[in-house]
Amino acid sequence: MKLYTHPLSTYARRVTMAALEKGIELETVVVDMAAREHRGEAYKKLNPYGRVPTLVDGDLVLYESTAILEYLEDRFPSPPLVPEDAADRARTRMHMKLCDLQLTPQTSTIIFPKRFIPKDRWRLDAMEKAKQEIEAHLAILDRELEGKTWLVAERFTLAELAYAPFLDFLGLMEIAPPPNVGSWAARMLARPSAQATKPPL
Ligand SMILES: N[C@@H](CCC(=O)N[C@@H](CS)C(=O)NCC(=O)O)C(=O)O
């Protein structure tokens, strides 16, 4: 199984964290994004959107990080990162989906310029709107997390893996998380899988 990835990629980090949590050995291929290899024809034959991560397993080519997480879960069910109960499985998927609707695009709007673009080219209005949307989402999550250690079934699940790489940038985004979100984020980011994949930038 080959994972096309980049050490600075938040979405790819979800997958490398899952592999560590499950003890799966993935052959990793670092896509040279600085040299725009991800936009080249050869890579776009694998991933038509020109993004990382991409997972290749025989004939199967997956280029959506949450689909990759679910595939790894099905192929390597132990240790489980999705609960058995149907309601809890649905809750896990709901939170993964909400993460990608309510948090990850907004986070990218702020952190991509902050990490990679000179300040005079930042779109401050878009970044401020994204920050407000994130804060509104975190307030909802905070209520969801009241009295809980993890989002679903009191277990670390794919829902946490979806969130972890993005919540690592709350500081860079200058967002002070509400209390339950703050302690939940600290718990997931303290795991060895998160520590081992911390991006250099
Ligand atoms: N929805 C995709 C998003 C992947 C994504 O946006 N990856 C970023 C790196 S974190 C990327 O490759 N960006 C390059 C580009 O969009 O040109 C997923 O979940 O895998």
Q: What is the DSSP letter of 181?
A: H
Average pLDDT, the chain: 98
Cβ pair 181, 142 in contact under 8 A = yes
Same domain, 182 and 129: yes
Q: How many degrees, rounded to 5, is the angle at CA 106 between CA 82 and CA 28?
A: 55
* The pLDDT of residue 123: 98
pLDDT digits (tens, 9 = 90+) for 47-62: 999 999 999 999 999 9
* Domain with 96 in it: 86-195
- Res. 116: pLDDT tops 90: yes
Same domain, 7 and 65: yes
Which among 51, 70, 72 is the best mutation to test ligand 1's pocket, defined by most ligand atoms within 8 Å of the CB? 51
Atom 10 in ligand 1: residue holding the nearest Cα? 9
Atom 11 in ligand 1: residue holding the nearest Cα? 51
Same domain, 91 and 157: yes
Question: Measured in angstroms, how far is the CA atom of residue 52 from the centroid of ligand 1?
Answer: 5
- Res. 185: pLDDT tops 90: yes
* The pLDDT of residue 75: 98
* The pLDDT of residue 109: 98
pLDDT digits (tens, 9 = 90+) for 128-161: 999 999 999 999 999 999 999 999 999 999 999 9
* The pLDDT of residue 181: 98
Same domain, 26 and 114: no
Domain count, the chain: 2
- Res. 201: pLDDT tops 90: no
Atom 9 in ligand 1: residue holding the nearest Cα? 9
Question: Measured in angstroms, how far is the CA atom of residue 147 from the centroid of ligand 1?
Answer: 33
pLDDT digits (tens, 9 = 90+) for 6-20: 999 999 999 999 999
The CATH number for 185's domain is: 1.20.1050.10
- pTM of this structure: 0.98
Cβ pair 158, 82 in contact under 8 A = yes
Same domain, 48 and 129: no
Atom of ligand 1 nearest to the CA of 9: 10
The CATH number for 29's domain is: 3.40.30.10
Question: Measured in angstroms, how far is the CA atom of residue 146 from the centroid of ligand 1?
Answer: 31
Task: Please provide residue 118's backbone torsions phi and psi, each rounded to the nearest 5 degrees.
Answer: -60, 145
